[in-house]
Structure 1
Amino acid sequence: MAGQPDLGRADLVTMLAELTGKPATEVPDRIGSMELAWLVHLVEQRHERRLDLSDDQLAGIRTVDDALAVFRTALTVTADG
């Protein structure tokens, strides 16, 4: 799996469940600024690297799927560069 980050939608939902104290099945798809900050922090910790996200990338994250796409791209770029 070279170049492909080990991060899936279920991982992000589990992280959000930890923040909210809700079961993963009850985690909403929409992400607010607090949830986004939490996810960035945990993804950086888990992958032991800083995500260099632009303001445009951050502003475009409104859902779990948005976050997954941006994080995977950032992790792939960081891993390759």
Structure 2
Amino acid sequence: MAGQPDLGRADLVTMLAELHARPAAEVPDRIGSMELAWLVHLVEQRYDRQLDLTDDQLAGIRTVDDALVVFRTSLTAPADG
């Protein structure tokens, strides 16, 4: 589907596994502020787009699934420009 990012849960888990140098199977579902910053950075690089996330959106991200929902929403929003 056009405009739909190909970002999936497995992608985020793989990114977190790289951060902690551990197998993806050992990545916990809950993420902290360091993991969140890492994910935002990598997703922005991968899609060459700044994720313009609000404080409320960021505060609501506590798990990999939370991050996936917020990132997909941000990536499908019209880019400013």
Q: What TM bracket, shorter-length normalisation?
A: over 0.9
The alpha-carbon deviation at position 6 of structure 1 amounts to 1.1
Q: Would the aligned equivalents of 1:30 and 1:62 in 2 still touch at CA under 8 Å?
A: yes
- Return the structure number with greater helix share: 1
CA distance in 1, matches of 2:21, 2:5: 26
Residue 71 of structure 1 is matched in structure 2 by 71
Q: Percent identity?
A: 85
- 2:51 corresponds in structure 1 to 51
Q: CA RMSD in A?
A: 1.5
Gaps of 5+ in 1: none
Structure 1 residue 78, shift from structure 2 partner? 3.7
1:11 maps to a residue whose letter is: D
Please identify runs of 4+ aligned residues in structure 1 that moved more than 3 A: 78-81
- Structure 2 gaps of 5+ residues are none
Equivalent pairs, count: 81
